[in-house]
Amino acid sequence: MKDFNMKKDTKITYFFQGGRKSRLNNNEKYAKEMFYGFDYFKSKYPDTEIIEFSEHKTKLRRLFFILVEKPLRNLLKLPLYWTFLTSQLNYKRIKESNILVFSNNRMACSVLPMLLVAKKTNKDINSLCFVMGLFSRMPKYKFLLFFQKGYIKLLLSTLDNFIFLSQSEMNEAIARFPKFEYKFLARPFAVDQNIWNEGTNKKDDYILFVGNDGFRNYELAENLTKKLPDINFVFVSELIEEDKLQKSNYKLIKGSWGMPGISDLELRDLYRNAKVTIVPLINSLQPSGQSVTLQSMSCGTPVIISKTEGFWDKERFIDKENIIFIEDNSLDNWVKTLNELFALDKNEYNSLIKEGIKLIKKNYQLDKYNIEIENILIRR
């Protein structure tokens, strides 16, 4: 492993599904953790740019998506979105780049064909991919495992660095692909504490749910409104179905990170004012709920979360000390745990808040995380 020489004119390209360019172009304050170090690198290396998904502009591209790409994605359980990123302009930028940063495995899997071609003329492209859920889904039919494994192996052999946001998923990757272990690192997420902080807001007695990923347990969250009719809920999600909610005790804000229904500052106020943030999950290796948990705790609101295989930091997060874990993920147990939280005396509740804030401030600082990413890229 040799050092990569980072100069001021280093050309860095980030890949995101969407939402970053729009945030950069408006005047609102935003949290920077979902940029995965982009702001930090842009300040040091001016030729740092973003490539995002683009819509299908031709019938041929749309046809390929319907007849080839989408069926393959469903069959192989791989995040293949080639038609949203493949273009001559993007290929030119890739070929000329010194460093490529993929915000998740969806971006890396989708850019892989272009990267393979680009590396024929520029073998020194250094690359990093943040991994969330790549090893969490298996094809329905066993014979398709050969093709899934082949594509993942090609990805692992082509890219230089993989940062797993969950130790459990990295362990699974090592078990399945031990040859590439030297490329793997486990590093939990970090949050922008300039945005996500506790403030002085007075607590209201509502339960907050935020999220849109595929491993959230939306049905359980919806049913909680019926089981707890005297408690108010606030949902920030595109995937909560309004007709399945109790009719009088909720507020639904439709939105996702890429197409937000509210700003980060408005979301911060929701966190600050909530009694508790809930993160009900379906078990998987993916570290689902990580950003919401860290944001909420940083804002001084306790979190109740399903304890899954993919939970990112099982040593620092301690049940009933700085977080509340749900191991029996039944609806009745969720109701019981929420009632217990609402029954906590002031000292117990404030201790949960205090310990959560202390944990995030000490271990999940974005500035340190960005420097660590830079060091990983230097030590390719």
* Domains delineated in the chain: 12-190+365-378 (3.40.50), 206-363 (3.40.50.2000)
The residue with tokens 């290929």 is 91
Q: How far is CA 354 from CA 199, 297, 348, 351, 377, in A?
A: 13, 9, 10, 5, 35
Instruction: Give residue 349's pLDDT.
Output: 96
Q: Are 143 and 150 in contact (CB under 8 A)?
A: no
Tens-of-pLDDT digits for all 380 residues of the chain?
A: 455 677 889 999 999 999 899 889 887 899 999 999 999 999 999 999 999 999 887 899 999 999 999 999 999 999 999 999 999 999 999 999 999 999 999 999 999 999 999 999 998 999 999 999 999 899 999 999 999 999 999 999 999 999 999 999 999 999 999 999 999 999 989 999 999 999 876 788 999 999 999 999 999 999 999 999 999 999 999 999 998 888 889 999 998 887 788 999 999 999 999 999 999 999 999 999 999 999 999 999 999 999 999 999 999 999 999 999 999 999 999 999 999 999 999 999 999 999 999 999 999 999 999 999 999 988 65
DSSP run (H or E) holding 326: strand 324-326
Return the number of other C-beta atoms located less than 10 Å from residue 117's C-beta. 12
The residue with tokens 């393979």 is 116
Closest CA to 229 of 245, 217, 211, 210: 245
